[in-house]
Amino acid sequence: MIISKRKTALVTGANSGIGLELTKKLMENGWEVAALIRSEFPQEELNIHQKIRHGSIRIYRADLSDFAKIKSALMQIKKNEAKLDALFNNAGGSFPSLLFSPQGRELHYEIQTVVPYIITMELLDLLKQGEHGIVIQTSSDAFKMKKSFVAEELANPSKFQKLIGPYATTKLAITLWTHAFAPKLRQEGITTVSIDPGNNNTMRKGRNGGLPLLIQPFIKLFGPHPSVGASRLYAGLESSPEDAGLYFSKGKPSVFPFKQHADQVLMQVQSIYEKEYLPL
């Protein structure tokens, strides 16, 4: 087991886009990072690879769409890490078409709504060992374009649209269950918030498959570097217990729609966790 006096953050999707820039920012500020990722860090990130060799970045691998692979990785994390001071449920993205996970649910929903709940539940004990356990969910203001929300359709949408379809809906869904679950986590001494990192330009490395064609030029020309979004997520570490359950956009607490569905979404992800993940 790794015991360190330095703070440790677990970051999902730590090897690309906002997650990569967040990993760099954490390292610059003296944190150690447990990276839950599917593929390698870019070869040109020489400082990152040096940190991996020195053990201040520790890699755990999993395809976050596959419960069996997630379970294996989380078992390793619980075996190897003595504590977590922060959990960034950051992995995700906008996919170009209607796709489904190995468990049979729509892929955005599985990765961006369900799996963050599983990871949070499984790592609660490590977060309780941290100095000030905090869970930061990567949300998105894309859901502001939603005129309706049907929780029963999250797993199997009736139609697909890039960005404003399942991507936006499932970002709203994680914001909803985070809001509903925050009071219970606060009783456990853990603060959880949702943060919109903004419309960062992650197209620099070709990650544009899920963006509508009309939006791509705007993001490419005017979208800020992913380090901007990473800074917004990092700022979430300053959240106090009084902020529990809040959604932050541009660094400020913001309203979000369909709050009346928060408990229903929470019950959905809890049911999947208890009936499908735990029996594995």
Averaged in consecutive runs of 10 residues, what is the pLDDT profile of the chain (280 residues)? 90 96 98 97 97 97 98 98 98 94 98 98 98 96 94 96 95 98 97 91 52 50 79 97 97 97 98 98
Per-residue model confidence (pLDDT) at position 27: 97
Per-residue model confidence (pLDDT) at position 218: 41
Q: Is 199 contained in some domain?
A: yes
Q: Is 266 contained in some domain?
A: yes
Q: How far apart are CA 175 and CA 210, in angstroms?
A: 21
Per-residue model confidence (pLDDT) at position 115: 98
Range of the domain at 251: 8-277
> What's the Rg (C-alpha) of the chain?
17
Residue 87 near residue 135, CB atoms below 8 Å = yes
Q: Is 2 contained in some domain?
A: no
Per-residue model confidence (pLDDT) at position 172: 98
Q: Where are the beta strands (DSSP E) in 53-110?
A: 57-61, 86-89
Q: Is 61 contained in some domain?
A: yes
Q: Is 252 contained in some domain?
A: yes
Q: Is 3 contained in some domain?
A: no
The total number of structural domains that make up the chain? 1
| Domain of residue 130, CATH code | 3.40.50.720
Q: How far apart are CA 256 and CA 259, in angstroms?
A: 7
Task: Give this prediction's pTM.
Answer: 0.93
Q: Is 173 contained in some domain?
A: yes
Crossing angle of the two packed helices 46-54 and 17-28, in degrees rounded to 10? 60
Q: Is 200 contained in some domain?
A: yes
